[in-house]
Amino acid sequence: MLLKHFHLALAAFSYFPTAFGKLQTCKGRDLPAIEVFGLEIVDITAKEHHDYEDWTPFPLFPGPKKAIDFCNFTITYTHPGQNDHINVYIWLPMNDTWDGRFVAQGGGGWAAGFDMALAPSVARGYAVAITDAGHTFYSDPARQPNADWLLASPGNLNWALFQDFAGRALDDLPKIAKQVIKGFYGEPPKYSYWHGCSTGGRQGLMSAQRYPGNYQGIVAAAPAINWAEMAVAGLWPHIVMRRLGYYPPSCELEAIFAADVEACDELDGVKDGIIAAPGLCTFDAKTVVGRPFDCEGDSRKISAEAAEIANEAWKGPFKGDRRLWFGMPHGTPFSVAGPWGPPSGLASTECDENNQNCKSRFFAVSTSWIGNVVRRVKSVDLSGMDEEEFYRTLRLSVNEFASVMSTNDPDLSDFGAAGGKMITWHGLADQLIPVNGTSSYYEKVLALDAEARSYYRYFEAPGVQHCFGGIGAAPTAVLDQIIKWVEQGIAPETLAAATVPAPGPPDAAPVVKHRPLCPYPLVSAYVGGDLSESSSFECAESFDVKKWHTEL
């Protein structure tokens, strides 16, 4: 009888490994059943990796470059009746290197998650996960130009996949990952975090607004908050180009951008090639019409048409006296040569080899959103869109899809009540998502809850482009600061930021400039000293520090 009880106890130990200690066998069959209401697990695969070195730290997801050991679980599931198949990819550090934290990583463009974000987090000791939201994603954002996977057929959206991408898969991700983590380590994560930029920033805000209990800390950078407006309004410079019948080469717009910076660079009291006070800049591009500029060796003059396009890009779309959306802030490049694929920006053009015969190069997300979603066709040509069609498209986009896709609900009370903490930062020189959409959202949050700063803080980064890039100082350790806020109760009074220098001469070490980024609406004001040191700046209500101190 005693032997029988021993065998029963041994069987229980084998069946419930998490009740007695760590599993860590990296076998899908050994995981306890994953149970999440409304979904059905289709498949679980697992693969063990040792001394994995095939990865590179990324600006958004920094981590120590080293060989890592981890178990890669892939969980495939469906929402019964929806005919969708979604994959969650979970990388779990092995050999007692897990620090008890879980980090879910966001995506970009139409990708719900990037696999290049996984290894850096594992190297830091985090359990990390991403979702594909039911469609193929790539590490290379340049391969995400279309959303034709959203079409069930011409004229008909696959609403299940649309809702998966917009929000539902974001709720599934932590529910699945936390169960896998508990099954593998024998205990759930002590702390759970979200980290993302662009689409990943939108996903972070979606999590805070709709699923406030999923994460204790969220980093939502350069968020595509007002997707339904932004994706259409980003066409505005091209609508102006069509009206004028003129498509300027990038070199002409670069000359206007340089003149803009020259005029407004020192509004913050510092000459550094950055417009840190775009709201104070009143530069009119018409003042430089006729100014000579170089276009790859060809001497030209700035045209009146190019000046009007620049002014309209800064102003943003209006219909009569009514603002429809924000324009590009002064100091934002009209087009940027990206690390992947062709240049990107809200006023990009492409020309022949002589910089003649130019035409619009539309922001890929705008093209796919209008074509695949608003018009429900596989491909679309927007070159003939006039102003009236632009206005109709913008109105239809907001009316039909904002409630599904946009994350502009300023009521974060449930997230705050759940004890959540969130940091948003946005580059003032963001060439794809105008920063004013984010500052406007944050002001609405504060208007609704004057105490929101106790759980949500927003920072602006002068001279920083979309998520990274530019000559400004970008945040260097935002995830570390949200962890400190959540786990130690220390709210970020500033974000540490530094420039990413361009390569210099072999015998010259490039100077890295450090700046403190201040919580909105405070600004980082120069108080004297070395411009490359954070100690030379302090947070103030205006860049005129002497005047501000006098008023105090």
Catalytic center residues: 198, 430, 466
Tell me the torsion sign for CA atoms 459, 465, 467, 471: negative
In the chain, the amino acid numbered 395 is: R
Residue 422: phi, psi to the nearest 5?
Answer: -140, 140
DSSP per residue over 519-535, as a string?
BTT-EEEE-SS-TTSGG
Q: Is residue 406 within 8 Å of 226, Cβ to Cβ?
A: yes
Q: Is 93 helix (H, G, I), strand (E, B) or coil?
A: strand
Q: Which residue pairs, CB below 8 angstroms and at least 24 apart, start in 499-507?
A: 499/471, 499/472, 499/473, 499/474, 500/59, 500/468, 500/469, 500/474
Q: Is 94 helix (H, G, I), strand (E, B) or coil?
A: coil
Q: Report the alpha-carbon distance of residue 336 to residue 333 in Å, rounded.
A: 7
Among 93, 131, 89, 127, residue whose Cα is nearest residue 112: 131
CA dihedral 196, 201, 203, 208 (to 10 degrees): 100
* Element (DSSP H or E) covering residue 387: helix 387-405
* Element (DSSP H or E) covering residue 437: helix 436-448
Cis ω for the linkage preceding 62 (within 30 of 0): no
Q: What does the radius of gyration of the chain's CA atoms come to, in whole angstroms?
A: 25
In the chain, the amino acid numbered 250 is: S
Among 491, 454, 421, residue whose Cα is nearest residue 216: 421
Q: Is residue 345 within 8 Å of 366, Cβ to Cβ?
A: no
Q: Is residue 49 within 8 Å of 68, Cβ to Cβ?
A: yes
> Max Cα separation, the chain?
100
Q: Report the alpha-carbon distance of residue 241 to residue 334 in Å, rounded.
A: 13
Among 244, 204, 248, residue whose Cα is nearest residue 421: 204
CB atoms within 10 A of CB 42: 12
